[in-house]
Amino acid sequence: MNLIDYPRWPSLARESILNVPMDLRSIRLSIDGKVIDYSGDIDSVIITGMGGSGVVGDIINDLCLFWDCRVPIIVSKNMRLPRRLSRPLVIAISYSGNTAETIMSANEALARGYPVIGITTGGRLSTALSAKGVPVILTPKASAPRYGLPALLYPALIILERFSVVSVTNELESGISGIENALKHVDDAVNLARQLVNSVPVVWVTESRRGVGIRFKNDLNENAKYYSVVSVVPEGAHNDIAAVITKQNGLKHVAIMGPNDYEGRYEEVLIDVISSFGAKPIIVKLEGKMPLELEMYGATYLGITTLALAELLGVEPVSTEPIDRLKNLLNERKVFQV
């Protein structure tokens, strides 16, 4: 099976770290009459991005449920930023650098006088920000945005440390260990993929693993061209679970669990209830000890699972023609002003 860029993930992570400038906090800009001082205190971090770039924010949100993050992390997957913000740092992530929604969000942040840092491989985002003196972290390229996850995530983690949001240095190598461990379980991933053939996966995750669940769902969509649903516990236990009492032919329940999830016992009871209605949930246990290690194990292992599913289905995993067609039509109709 072709693992595409997954074997490169450890090197992508390490290489991308080296591209983060040391002087981020010393930057001071004047843009359209507003002074933007990167040395000032911040009270939140907005991570804006879409698709394979946007999932970085979801994963960091997971991690902050285990880490002692000093300020809230706000994930923005939109063309506008949230209102009523005071002193946020904005991390604008676009693998291609041409994501219109992210460019619009970055421009809006600068217009409001917020410090912005771009993470990208180039494109219009890099050009626009660099022209204004805004720091841009250029990352190594992969076959597609979703295959470059570590190259987008690791710089964002370093930025959080530079801005004293959280200390991450002692976990960076553990995250890479999680990737390497998952790469040893390709046969298990193939077996999981076989169980998903001819089904609609319902992915059950706790709030503290939301990012892993969203990433799995997105990879099922893009790699295997497979529809799936994510249900987040405990909220999903108050609505989605009601559907298991009917005969939902074709559904396959997949529960993702980490060893230290504070909602773990809750999810175990949920699985028992689902089973009592005749379903046979598949349990995916994340391996590792450190929060980043567990997240990276999950993203890697489940990503490989979707590549295996694509191969079983005879689907080409890299291309995403409907997404490309949508972007082209949005541009033709001038939906975005960037």
Residue labelled with tokens 């298990």? 188
Q: Please say whether the beta carbons of 111 and 80 come within 8 A.
A: no
Phi, psi of 205 (to 5 degrees): -140, 155
Question: Is 327 assigned a catalytic role?
Answer: yes
DSSP letter at 281? P
Establish how many alpha carbons lie within 13 A of residue 288's alpha carbon, considering only the half-sphere containing its beta carbon.
28
The single residue of 238, 247, 280, 334 carrying the catalytic annotation is: 238
Strands, E assignment, the chain: 28-31, 34-37, 44-48, 73-76, 88-94, 116-120, 136-138, 200-206, 229-233, 251-257, 282-285
Q: Please say whether the beta carbons of 295 and 182 come within 8 A.
A: no
How many Cβ atoms from other residues are within 10 Å of residue 234's Cβ?
A: 12
CA torsion, points 267, 272, 276, 279, in degrees to nearest 10? 60
Question: Is 253 assigned a catalytic role?
Answer: no
Distance from C-alpha of 289 to C-alpha of 97, rounded to nearest angstrom: 34
Question: Is 334 assigned a catalytic role?
Answer: no
3-state secondary structure of 189: helix
The single residue of 77, 132, 185, 327 carrying the catalytic annotation is: 327
Q: Which two tokens stand for residue 34?
A: 């507003």
Q: Which two tokens stand for residue 136?
A: 């841009």
Distance from C-alpha of 198 to C-alpha of 200, rounded to nearest angstrom: 7
Beta bridge partners of 44: 88
The single residue of 101, 222, 263, 267 carrying the catalytic annotation is: 222
Catalytic residues: 222, 238, 327
